[in-house]
Structure 1
């Protein structure tokens, strides 16, 4: 296994520990979970902090989420595409929240939690905008603008303590408005 492959394997194995323990995870826990000796950790990473930062970076990366959004079939109804997008984006936001919460609870500084938020949001917005493309001629606003509005609604829902609006209600209000048809 190449050094880069070993690093990736360790990060994938350790991510659930970071969600559980944050930066307080021990090298013994890491080694046991990854199925390696503690010395192997330090051949792959200069120290535990570098490994924790690599795990946080991996959790923040939107690549997998963007791939899942791109796989949503554009030939199905818009409501269904948006429901699938909500599932994908909600899972990503939950992962971010879990990692950020664990890091905070463990007393870790916000190391590695920044990423490139603007680039990530722009990529998410573009991926969601693509879901509106088949209906472009029927839309009141351009797909890119709708992608941004849809993400804003979803992000505010994710921050809500009550999670009052379920996915179907959010999609219904987004597509058909809040006022009953007269």
Structure 2
């Protein structure tokens, strides 16, 4: 039992980078829900910190929102997931896992960008900070994603009618087109992959 007058042990302090990451992780779903109407007070409350702590890491709400946009667009999590898909699985299983990862990425991105647009703040792409190793823009992100998906096709290259990078292009074109429209909304990832690999004929 703790003595009444015993000094309270404080949790180890976080570095600036750790605090920034914690605030960003907390802010992302709030920005996806409220768009630019979210307040730093809401974010601080959800993070369990004082509002002043937010401003020790971010200059203002604008900088925080821009960081959320950059994180939503950042393909690092997607690329990491694609890189962990086992090539020992059948091709269809690999592609279903990849499709679900791509759909998750597009969903997170669409939620943040859509909420900001709906609240009157069209997001702008910002260049990466100096020393940031992540892909700098859309072209680089798409190239990295295409290469990761092409790797999933490579074990079957002798059976493919087209080169693996072209197959990856078709796969991603299908996924991104579906993400931007109501293309085949009722089809599961497994059904989409089956359609891609075997066509529409029985």
TM-score over 0.5 for the alignment?
A: yes
Q: Which has the higher helix share?
A: 1
> Which residue in the other structure is 1:169 paired with?
191
> Which residue in the other structure is 1:73 paired with?
86
Between the two proteins, the alignment pairs up a number of residues equal to 180
> Which residue in the other structure is 2:97 paired with?
84
Shift in Å at residue 54 of structure 1?
A: 0.7
Contact 1:125 1:144 in 2 (8 A): yes
Which 4+ residue blocks in structure 1 deviate beyond 6 angstroms?
A: none
State the alpha-carbon separation in 1 of the partners of residues 107 and 90 from structure 2.
26
> Which residue in the other structure is 2:159 paired with?
138
> Which residue in the other structure is 1:147 paired with?
168
Contact 2:35 2:116 in 1 (8 A): yes
Shift in Å at residue 113 of structure 1?
A: 7.3
> Which residue in the other structure is 1:37 paired with?
50
CA distances 1:13-50 after superposition (whole Å, capped 9, x unpaired): 11110101111111110110111111111111111100
> Which residue in the other structure is 1:8 paired with?
21
Structure 1 length-normalised TM: 0.92
Structure 2 length-normalised TM: 0.84
State the alpha-carbon separation in 2 of the partners of residues 6 and 166 from structure 1.
38
Which has the higher mean CA deviation after the structures are superposed, 164-173 or 44-53? 164-173
Which has the higher mean CA deviation after the structures are superposed, 110-119 or 79-88? 110-119
Q: Structure 2: where are the runs of 5+ without partners?
A: 1-13, 128-135
Shift in Å at residue 125 of structure 1?
A: 0.7
Asked which structure has the greater CA Rg, the reply is 2
State the alpha-carbon separation in 2 of the partners of residues 154 and 134 from structure 1.
21
Contact 1:22 1:99 in 2 (8 A): yes
Q: Structure 1: where are the runs of 5+ without partners?
A: none
